[in-house]
Chain A
């Protein structure tokens, strides 16, 4: 064979021209680098899983499911605590937007992310001390008004950054909506108490019975603290705009739950109770009413049917199991009775717009129905009570006027949670408030340190969908169901309805995770590569490397990557890694020699020493 024009290194000199050393010979191994065949280069790039993107606080869900899968529960708990101060609470109460977004839901059944989160949260509660520590003190004092989800989250993140945080709570007990809006049979009080204790362990001062506008004035906040986060939430219940709402026996949803939660309730319900409203609070009220002694509970909604109700389907299902009746397409126009509610007057009604917050059109010409009840609970939303707030910071919706970073003008006041999210199109839920509190805490920190503000903490990346993944590798597995109390027995007690996962169940459920768009060290690329171009030291996420000198761009690894974290990038997009070779003879070190060198360069990252965490 002619080797004219090709550069032959001295060490490749062969005894006879035209004889190629066999690959088994030492020098033959260095021949034929095939990297210049390549038109496309495989690249590992972790993408955003849909669960992480959907989560209000962008929990790294894929990350902790992967750790649970491997039995690294403490690492998983530490990871969840980066974004979520109280996984034990959200593991019980969250309306899990992550599960709605889960790619597995389009395949068989979504991962029960909330149940795994609860498993980790309970694990964290059992620890003698938390994995999270307060940051090195920076000498700045911050007040957080309100100890609900947003305030809790903001205080937690600020304490981690070294701020001296004081929480001002107007109720006798901290917890805000977590305590006052969520019934005990969803979130036992001792779980929340433990999470509040964790806050105190971080060095946060919790001042209860301290109301802004009464015990502390706006000017006090300004004078005594370097910055302040307003997370006061929506405290006042909306009226249903019916006549006679002031009669005895008429209750409002959130105050009803709050009084029970704070232990200050003196309510005695009659046998027949009607709930006005079709949202999640209405459902909680209906189920709480059963536990407070009501015999017949009827929910009256303007929505035309079940599917239109702005509620979580599982909770609706559980409520119907407990025997609550539904009446659709009706609005309460009047509360009838002599001083005390005896019956409701109902008229046919519908929403005038596409969303449930749109104005209601009531057909008052139609014959009114009379519905006999002993109590009525009105749960049609909440609004803010902001008498203490200077007028300049109020907006036309009656809430706080903020810029897109949560800041009030150019003051050192920030606002987070339901108080700013209402009317923004965001559903009002605990996890969204937590995320808002977290983002505002980071914005506050940036302002205090004089750094430019960032638009979003998690950059919006490619959100992995099923078409990017190789579904051949994922057999269908049913979701691990959480055990539940029997509807007949549970509806009279305050016992927690949904039961926790055992360790085996949590691992089994975490195992179902597709790990969408993120390397989970399945080793597939390493095994399928027809040439040993893919190297790794230990089998661990992101510790794979491609030897571009030998990768022919055959795409086998890209096609066979189950999670879609490997992608093909046109070779011409790279300025680096330009490998120049002769057609027949390599001028560079050969495949096996190179692999050894690359292996030495790979960081030999040991698994985290979870036993000795400090």
Chain B
């Protein structure tokens, strides 16, 4: 009986879709594999503000998930930070059981990022992937300010959102699936729009093994 929670931390508006794509595509793949899955966004954080920190949730279970009306993940097994600066701001590992995975979109190596992580003893691995570079993202994250000025609203987002993971979400999904095996690679791969970045990421993950949980 396995039950896995995935929480994605992202930025309001400018990286909203990236976070949404990750949870939606993984939940959809899980359902295709015959599992029970939920994916939802969090509105507590008032995400319609540029750069405001926002969470997206996904749960996958072999049996039916009963707490359908609770939409915050209390004990996430997998965490994804869509923007590297988020590593500093919160106790995002709160509630994580030992043996968790943290995936960060960053150009820094995991050895550098680990010093910002609160409570790294809970992690089995820290995964860093330079998703912005792999997806050839128009704005690298160190130009986040320009990104915010360019996309001050969600105007046009619906049109863009027809494709799943056209941008920096693709390498992040690859990182999550490759390092945790939460869903099968064969089920999720056809959904991804940016296949080049997805495949490139599979070879270019920087994984720092930490405290494995005895099986």
Residues of A within 8 A of B (CB): 1-6, 34-40, 552-555, 568, 570-572, 575, 578-584
* A-B complex: 6 closest residue pairs judged by Cβ atoms: A36-B89, A39-B144, A39-B85, A37-B51, A555-B145, A571-B85
Name the one of B53, B71, B87, B116 contacting A583, with C-beta atoms under 8 angstroms: B53
Q: B81-104 interface mask toward A, CB cutoff 8 Å, 1 = contact, 0 = none?
A: 001111111110011000000000
Q: Which residues of B contact A40 (CB under 8 A)?
A: 142, 144-145
In the docked arrangement, what's the CA distance between A412 and B199, Å? Answer: 69
Given contacts A40-B145, A553-B51, A553-B145, contact A579 B83 (CB under 8 A): no
Nearest CB on A from B7, distance (A): 10
In the docked arrangement, what's the CA distance between A582 and B55, Å? Answer: 12
- Does A4 contact B118, Cβ atoms closer than 8 Å? no
Nearest to A1 among chain B residues (CB) is: B44
Nearest CB on A from B196, distance (A): 26
Is B45 part of the binding interface, using a Cβ–Cβ cutoff of 8 Å?
yes
5 further A-B pairs in the complex, CB-CB below 8 A; given A4-B70, A5-B74, A572-B88: A6-B44, A39-B85, A39-B142, A553-B144, A572-B106
Nearest CB on A from B161, distance (A): 23
Query: Mind listing 21 A-B residue pairs with CB under 8 Å?
Result: A1-B43, A5-B72, A5-B95, A6-B44, A35-B89, A36-B86, A37-B52, A39-B144, A553-B51, A553-B144, A554-B148, A555-B145, A571-B88, A572-B108, A578-B116, A580-B88, A580-B90, A582-B91, A583-B44, A583-B90, A584-B45
Q: Which residues of A contact B88 (CB under 8 A)?
A: 36, 571-572, 578-580
Is B198 part of the binding interface, using a Cβ–Cβ cutoff of 8 Å?
no
Q: Which residues of A contact B51 (CB under 8 A)?
A: 37-39, 552-553
Nearest CB on B from A364, distance (A): 65
- Does B91 contact A580, Cβ atoms closer than 8 Å? yes
Name the one of A572, A575, A578 contacting B84, with C-beta atoms under 8 angstroms: A572
Is B184 part of the binding interface, using a Cβ–Cβ cutoff of 8 Å?
no
Nearest CB on B from A89, distance (A): 49
Name the one of A554, A568, A572 contacting B87, with C-beta atoms under 8 angstroms: A572
In the docked arrangement, what's the CA distance between A40 and B144, Å? Answer: 8
- Does B89 contact A580, Cβ atoms closer than 8 Å? yes
- Does B94 contact A5, Cβ atoms closer than 8 Å? yes
Is B151 part of the binding interface, using a Cβ–Cβ cutoff of 8 Å?
no
Q: Which residues of A contact B43 (CB under 8 A)?
A: 1
Nearest CB on A from B52, distance (A): 6
In the docked arrangement, what's the CA distance between A22 and B116, Å? Answer: 33
- Does A554 contact B145, Cβ atoms closer than 8 Å? yes
Nearest to A5 among chain B residues (CB) is: B72
Q: Which residues of B contact A35 (CB under 8 A)?
A: 89
In the docked arrangement, what's the CA distance between A374 and B210, Å? Answer: 93
Q: Which residues of A contact B106 (CB under 8 A)?
A: 572
Name the one of A554, A555, A568, A579 contacting B89, with C-beta atoms under 8 angstroms: A579
Residues of B within 8 A of A (CB): 11, 43-45, 51-53, 55, 70-72, 74, 83-91, 94-95, 106, 108, 113, 115-116, 118, 141-142, 144-145, 148
Q: Which residues of B contact A553 (CB under 8 A)?
A: 51, 144-145
In the docked arrangement, what's the CA distance between A98 and B137, Å? Answer: 44
Nearest to B107 among chain A residues (CB) is: A572
Nearest to A571 among chain B residues (CB) is: B85
Nearest CB on B from A139, distance (A): 52
Nearest CB on A from B9, distance (A): 9
- Does B44 contact A36, Cβ atoms closer than 8 Å? no
Nearest CB on A from B35, distance (A): 25
Nearest CB on A from B169, distance (A): 18
Q: Which residues of A contact B53 (CB under 8 A)?
A: 36-37, 583
Q: Which residues of B contact A3 (CB under 8 A)?
A: 44
In the docked arrangement, what's the CA distance between A63 and B78, Å? Answer: 55
- Does B90 contact A581, Cβ atoms closer than 8 Å? yes
Nearest CB on B from A554, distance (A): 7
In the docked arrangement, what's the CA distance between A552 and B84, Å? Answer: 15
In the docked arrangement, what's the CA distance between A138 and B125, Å? Answer: 63
Nearest CB on B from A577, distance (A): 9
Nearest to B9 among chain A residues (CB) is: A583
Given contacts A5-B95, A583-B45, A584-B44, contact A36 B116 (CB under 8 A): no
Given contacts A5-B94, A5-B95, A581-B89, contact A39 B141 (CB under 8 A): yes
Name the one of B11, B55, B94, B115 contacting A575, with C-beta atoms under 8 angstroms: B115
Q: Which residues of B contact A578 (CB under 8 A)?
A: 88, 116
Nearest CB on A from B10, distance (A): 12
- Does A572 contact B85, Cβ atoms closer than 8 Å? yes
Nearest to B113 among chain A residues (CB) is: A572
Which of B87, B89, B90, B118 is the most central at the interface, judged by chain A CB atoms within 10 Å of its CB?
A: B89
Which of B45, B91, B113 is the most central at the interface, judged by chain A CB atoms within 10 Å of its CB?
A: B91
Q: Which residues of A contact B90 (CB under 8 A)?
A: 36, 580-583
Nearest CB on B from A450, distance (A): 40
- Does A4 contact B89, Cβ atoms closer than 8 Å? no
Nearest CB on B from A530, distance (A): 12
In the docked arrangement, what's the CA distance between A260 and B43, Å? Answer: 87
Nearest CB on B from A138, distance (A): 47
In the docked arrangement, what's the CA distance between A330 and B70, Å? Answer: 95
- Does B116 contact A2, Cβ atoms closer than 8 Å? no
Given contacts A5-B74, A555-B145, A583-B45, contact A39 B116 (CB under 8 A): no
Q: Which residues of B contact A1 (CB under 8 A)?
A: 43-44
Q: Which residues of B contact A5 (CB under 8 A)?
A: 72, 74, 94-95
Nearest CB on B from A170, distance (A): 62
Nearest CB on A from B40, distance (A): 12
Nearest to B55 among chain A residues (CB) is: A583
Nearest to A574 among chain B residues (CB) is: B88
In the docked arrangement, what's the CA distance between A568 and B141, Å? Answer: 13
Nearest CB on B from A41, distance (A): 10
Nearest to B145 among chain A residues (CB) is: A555
In the docked arrangement, what's the CA distance between A150 and B144, Å? Answer: 52
Q: Which residues of B contact A555 (CB under 8 A)?
A: 145
Nearest CB on A from B147, distance (A): 9
Name the one of B44, B94, B95, B141 contacting A2, with C-beta atoms under 8 angstroms: B44
Nearest to A35 among chain B residues (CB) is: B89
Name the one of A570, A579, A583, A584 contacting B142, with C-beta atoms under 8 angstroms: A570
Q: Which residues of A contact B70 (CB under 8 A)?
A: 4
Nearest CB on B from A575, distance (A): 7
Q: Which residues of B contact A572 (CB under 8 A)?
A: 84-85, 87-88, 106, 108, 113, 116
Q: Which residues of A contact B45 (CB under 8 A)?
A: 583-584
In the docked arrangement, what's the CA distance between A35 and B85, Å? Answer: 11
Nearest to B142 among chain A residues (CB) is: A570
In the docked arrangement, what's the CA distance between A1 and B43, Å? Answer: 8
In the docked arrangement, what's the CA distance between A4 and B43, Å? Answer: 12
Q: Which residues of A contact B141 (CB under 8 A)?
A: 39
- Does A39 contact B89, Cβ atoms closer than 8 Å? no
In the docked arrangement, what's the CA distance between A34 and B87, Å? Answer: 15
In the docked arrangement, what's the CA distance between A552 and B89, Å? Answer: 12
Q: Which residues of A contact B115 (CB under 8 A)?
A: 575
Q: Which residues of B contact A568 (CB under 8 A)?
A: 145
Q: Which residues of A contact B94 (CB under 8 A)?
A: 5
In the docked arrangement, what's the CA distance between A579 and B106, Å? Answer: 20
Nearest CB on B from A184, distance (A): 59
In the docked arrangement, what's the CA distance between A5 and B70, Å? Answer: 12
Nearest CB on B from A258, distance (A): 61
Q: Which residues of A contact B55 (CB under 8 A)?
A: 583
